[in-house]
Structure 1
Amino acid sequence: MNKEIYHHFHPDEHHFVDKALDWLERAANQHAVKLTDFLDPRQAFILSTLVNRHPDVHCRLDGGYPEAERKRALIAPDYRTLDGEDMGILVLSVTSADAKFLTLEHGDYMGAILGLGMKRDKVGDIHVLEGGCHFLVTSESADYLHMNLSQVHRVHVQTELLPLDRLQTAKVQLDELQLSVASLRMDGIVSDVFRLSRAKVLIPIQAGRCRVNWKVEEDPSKPLKEGDIVSLQGFGRFKVLEVEGVTKKGRIRVKIGRYA
């Protein structure tokens, strides 16, 4: 493929583009089949874009359930049927008899996983439930996590591996807030949502620690729009739910949903 493809992606994404191109070339020229780790939505978009440009390769994306955010990709020559192929995804159920267990949050579980030396790519979506937590995990890492995940944020836990048909999903919780902003500039909305000064949000934005729809965005003046999902490393993420209109003083009313 023409190296001009790089111009369509942020420099931080070029490493993933190289990996994806290598998967496609192996599928086309060596008839190889590649099952990736879990990809975030931006990586899945990049891969799909490259696949659509390649005449001899196709792929299947699957995260274990229809609404999955993070998905594994199965890449193969175009003559191979991918429907029904095993995508290598299992459910890791986490429970505990400790009352403190009920206060654990998404970040606590993610921290416990990373604390075991496990890469984020080995874990798909995480569903925090009333009586426990269900992880989507790659089948290759499932046994290791099952044997070694015994504590989450100093709470002792038990784990069990389950098939996909026993997955329980959690409804996404958004804490809504109303903002009145001078413009839809990213830096202004980010500073209001996370209650930081404009000067303090400029540093992480310009350092590439802010993403809009999973794509690195370094321009503080980028205007946001309804539906955009914005994340700031170390602070969390939010969604622009609605741009509600303009006040008599000329300010813009925006409804934000911050991920709990």
Structure 2
Amino acid sequence: MILAQAPIERSAITTLLLSAVVCTTTLPALAADPSEFSRAEKLVFVDHQLANVKAPASLRYTFVKSGSLEPGFEDEVRIDVKRKGKVCCTVDGNFLSGERKMKLPEIEEAQANPVILYFLERDIREMERLTKGKSGYFRKRIRMTMVDEAKVRDTKISYEGREVDAQEVSLNPYETDPLRARFEKYAQKRYTFVLASGVPGGVYQVRTALPGALPGDAPVLEEVMTLAGPAAGDKQPSKK
């Protein structure tokens, strides 16, 4: 399986995105003008986020679920980046643990960090569970708003005691949904991706939040995955 990488047609990337982690079909890379992608798509799904990871390496992410909707928990996500021959990179993922663990296939020739796809795949399965809707529909909404409605802004993060330049991509897939009434309870759900080339793997944080009824209320549901750093004993070079 090949993770989406530039340059390829949007038709190819949109077929692959958010289904890459649950299918075994390899899709060919088709030549196209990279300008066909929105800035949000490039940042989240296309950029070579693994460029600063020296394989073999392992990256850890904390995962925290909270909110009033359901009991929360804290867990961990791990991706293992390795070479196969002269090719880099092949990625294995361990997403959560115990009964929450999500089975993931190995992704070959990855350039973008698949931890984003893993997070979104779990999110889509949760939306399907909570709403009884169809996973394909939720994938479509995320994809469409990533192209047409996502907002991108420059920001800064703190990582290992230093300030790092980053980009934040945010979207509300269900706010403008023509079928919003079917999922009204989740219409204000917001997705935020924080990307930074100066941290290992290029992905600092991914989070979703369903706000409370009133301004200032705690979120009804929030899930946050944040880079903790290389696995113990695995020091990775970082951009100063």
Q: Same fold (TM over 0.5)?
A: no
Structure with the greater alpha carbon radius of gyration: 1
TM-score (structure 1 length as normaliser): 0.28
The answer to which structure, 1 or 2, has the higher relative contact order (CA under 8 A, 6+ apart) is 2
